[in-house]
Amino acid sequence: MIDWGPVLLSLRVGLTALAFVFVTGTLAARAMTRRDFPGKDVVDGLLVLPLVLPPVVTGFLLLLLLGRNGPVGGFLEGSLGIRLLFTLHAAVIAAAVVAFPLMYQSAKAAFQGVDARLEDAARTLGAGEARVFVTVTLPLAWPGLVAGTVLSFARSLGEFGATVMVAGNIPGQTTTVPLAIFFAADAGDMRAAGTYALVISGLCMVLVVALNAWTRRRKPNWQRRARASRAADDRHSSVTRC
Amino acid sequence: MGAATVRSVIPRLSLPRIRVSLPILILLAVAAAGCRDRAAKEERPRAVLTVSAAASLREAMTELEASFEAANAGVDVRTNFGASGALRQQIEQGAPVDVFVSAAEAPMDALQKAGLIDPRTRRVAAGNELVLVVPAAGASPVRAFADLARPEVRRIALGAPASVPAGDYAEQVLRALGIAEAVRARIVYAQNVRQVLGYVESGNVDAGVVYRTDAAVSRRVRVAAAAPPGTHRPITYPVAVVARTAEPELARAYAAHLLGPAGREVLRRRGFRVE
Amino acid sequence: MLSVRARKRLPDFTLEVDFEVRDEILVLFGPSGAGKSMTLRMIAGLERPDAGEIRLSGRVLYARDPKAWVPPRGRRCGLVFQDLALFPHLDVTANVLFGAPSRDGQARGRLAEMLERFRIGHLARRFPAELSGGEAQRVALARALMADPDVLLLDEPFSSLDAETRRAVGDEVVAAHRTWRIPFVFVTHDREEAERLGDRMLFLRGGRQVAPPG
């Protein structure tokens, strides 16, 4: 039927990018919500920039950076003999860069939604910053982080503009589904292009629908039980309550 | 209608400066629109001719466009460059093209089969040579097409064979030399020959396959080798008038211009092979 | 013993306090916005004064000269917040155990005692959202005291309760103090409550300690 290569490659690139983006996005959001420093707004703007720039512009900037004559690419090639352009790594970098702001923004919103007083309470009870983060902040911010994860994964699956500029069209290595669609259409193979388009659309649709369903149905244990026991308490007399 | 009338229409703007400048701005805008109209009337051409040409013909066709317009007052020639496959698709989808110049027979064959070109007008405009280029800066170990199989060659840029004729020819050469499968994993496919050139110029690939005429355009690449004779089908550029053209007379005249002495001289100067 | 000498510039006024608390219940009383909560936050280490010195049980928690600063987690200050700040995603047992110095068998024993003393044993597996105001209050107290603090700070903890519950829990606090003989600093703007619960009162207005209003 169709060559599943691009689909598998897209999943591989997407998941790898997601791993980076989840960690860096969460940590960056944590750092930005916790302290103020001069130039904070500028830093925030830079972190969000790939979200508002046309992807091909992001790709162009990455090309300048990672190319042989660029600051990063030149160093990597000169000292370590590593060429980033036109490799799977470049595809992952492109996907990660465009997906990062989505994770970062979601995580920021999630952390800001956690009551600071709960974190303060944890501190007065003897918890260090790491413990506060893991036992209080993270569990309460979890739904927002999950949403960010799904959004950034979907975004990296569909990434084209930046990918085509720094990774190019190399079947089996960088030809992800969006690139396969583009080049198939370019060659007049509308059937292949259409099939790939259906596959990726279906995948993204499933992800978003699943996220919505999970968010809606999943009430944290404590809220669900609160409802149940309030109903039960209503049947008790008020004397037993203080 | 004067500034006074306009001012009475907007009596309640509190800032006096707005009350004065707003009507003036409106008048200026109206005047400017009127001016544009007049200029457009002077410039409207007698006819517009749309030519779709393969990317590798860019410099030559641009010259020919200018000389044709000079010889035919009131005619505006618009040349649309791209990969022959993409251009063919545009015509299939009904784009208003009058003349098509392709970098291979296949796209023209497809259009002829579909009845989209006038077969009586089909001719061969030029030929070309396939060459291997490497970045001009630095020493490259590549001296022949067969060298592409060497381990130091990590990335090779070719046009995507399904849509770029130069890429298809390159594949033919690789297969004829028996190294196609060996280098398969190193190839990055570009959308057109200009992009292949760009990749090689930047140094991000080690070698690329383009037409000799393309290599001549760039100072940042040098020709390492020509395709050995017999390794690919002859490269020809067919030209034809599109069947659904709105300007059949002009289209035929343009094709004649391309095929005539003026056209051949330009093509020869640019490195194409002409009979 | 807790000794607090602190100055902090705030948007509306400069907060200046200077007091000591032995093992008694000191009530910080005054109108809203007088700086009472800020004082508690400075003692707990959640805010940093501009100048002064805070000592607890002989340790310096904060000083300007020479520079000294102990972060909140090292201060052993229990804090009961105005809105309690119970961890909504943890059950009562987990909440109470959160600050416990250890989790061994001995700690489990202490936990059982604590739950019984505050009469919240039957709520051990409930979540904060399922508790009534008074129950939550007692859990907050238990949680703070379980961490074995050297001082207990209570920041208007009863403001969301009805009058009857307020009295009941207020008595709990006094009873708790008789068991844990550590300084208690209690913030309120309710005169009657201040007089009923406190061994001593400190009046704060506009960031300054003032004479008791007539």
Nearest-angstrom CA–CA distance, C17 and C209: 6
d(CA C81, CA C5): 22
B114 inside 8 A of chain A by CB: no
Tell me, what DSSP letter sits at residue A70? S
CB atoms B188 and A168 under 8 Å: yes
Model pTM score: 0.75
Residues in chain B with CB shorter than 8 Å from the CB of A174 are 188
C46-to-A35, A109, C55, C74 alpha-carbon distances in Å:
14, 23, 15, 12
To the nearest whole Å, the CA of A232 is away from the closest chain C CA by 10
Query: What's the confidence (pLDDT) of residue B223?
Result: 94
CA distance B47 to B49: 7
Are B224 and B207 in contact by the 8 Å Cβ rule? The answer is yes
Name chain A contacts of C101, Cβ cutoff 8 Å.
126
C186 closest CA partner among C207, C177, A129: C177
Residue A220: per-residue pLDDT: 61
Report yes or no: B220 at the A interface, CB cutoff 8 Å: no
Of B246-255, C150-159, C205-214, minimum mean pLDDT range = C205-214
Question: Two tokens at C183?
Answer: 């300084």
Domains in chain B with CATH codes: 3-43 (no CATH), 47-127+236-269 (3.40.190.10), 130-226 (3.40.190.10)
- Average model confidence (pLDDT) across chain C: 89
Contacts of A76 in chain B (CB under 8 A): none
Q: Tell me: pLDDT of A195 over 60.
A: yes
Q: Across-strand partners of C29? A: C188, C203
Between CA A204 and CA A150 the distance in angstroms is 9
Q: Which amino acid is at C141?
A: L
Domains of chain A (ranges, CATH numbers): 5-235 (1.10.3720.10)
Q: Could you tell me if B212 and B59 are in contact, meaning their C-beta atoms sit under 8 angstroms apart?
A: no
DSSP string, chain B: --HHHHHHHSTT-S-HHHHHHHHHHHHHHHHHHHHHHHHHHHH--SEEEEEEEEGGGHHHHHHHHHHHHHHSTTEEEEEEEE-HHHHHHHHHTT---SEEE-SSHHHHHHHHHTT-B-GGG-EEEEE--EEEEEESSS--S--SGGGGGSTT---EEEE-TTT-HHHHHHHHHHHHHT-HHHHGGGEEEESSHHHHHHHHHHTSSSEEEEEHHHHHH-SSEEEEEEPPTTSS---EEEEEEBTT-S-HHHHHHHHHHHHSHHHHHHHHHTT-B--
Whole-number mean pLDDT of chain A?
87
Both tokens assigned to B51: 């030519």
Higher pLDDT, B11 or C26: C26
- ipTM summary value: 0.90
Sheet bearing B99-101, strands edge to edge? B75-82, B47-54, B99-101, B236-241, B123-127
**Per-residue pLDDT averaged across B252-256, rounded?**
94
> Of A126-140, A188-202, A212-226, B94-108, which range is least confident?
A212-226
Best A125, A224, A237 residue to mutate vs chain C (most C CBs within 10 Å): A125
Q: Does position A237 have pLDDT exceeding 50, yes or no?
A: no
A75, A42, A46: which is closest to A61 by C-alpha? A46
**Residue numbers in A near C89 (CB within 8 A):** 139-140, 220-222
pLDDT winner (highest mean) among A30-34, B20-24, B106-110, C160-164: B106-110
Residues C189, B76: Cα–Cα separation, whole Å = 86
Gap from A156 CA to chain C (nearest CA, Å): 32
Which of B89, B188, B191 is nearest residue A86 as measured by Cβ atoms? B188
Closest chain A CA to residue B92: A188
Choose between A77 and B190: higher pLDDT.
Answer: B190
Residue pair C52/C69 in contact (Cβ under 8 Å)? The answer is: no
CB contact under 8 Å between C98 and A123, yes or no, is: no
Chain B residues 173-202 with a CB less than 8 Å from chain A: 185, 187-191, 199, 202
pLDDT for residue A102 is more than 60? yes
What pLDDT, on a 0 to 100 scale, did the predictor assign at position A80?
87
Confidence of residue B111 (pLDDT cuts 50, 70, 90): very high
DSSP string, C168-213: HHHHHHHHHHHHS-S-EEEEES-HHHHHHH-SEEEEEETTEEEPPP
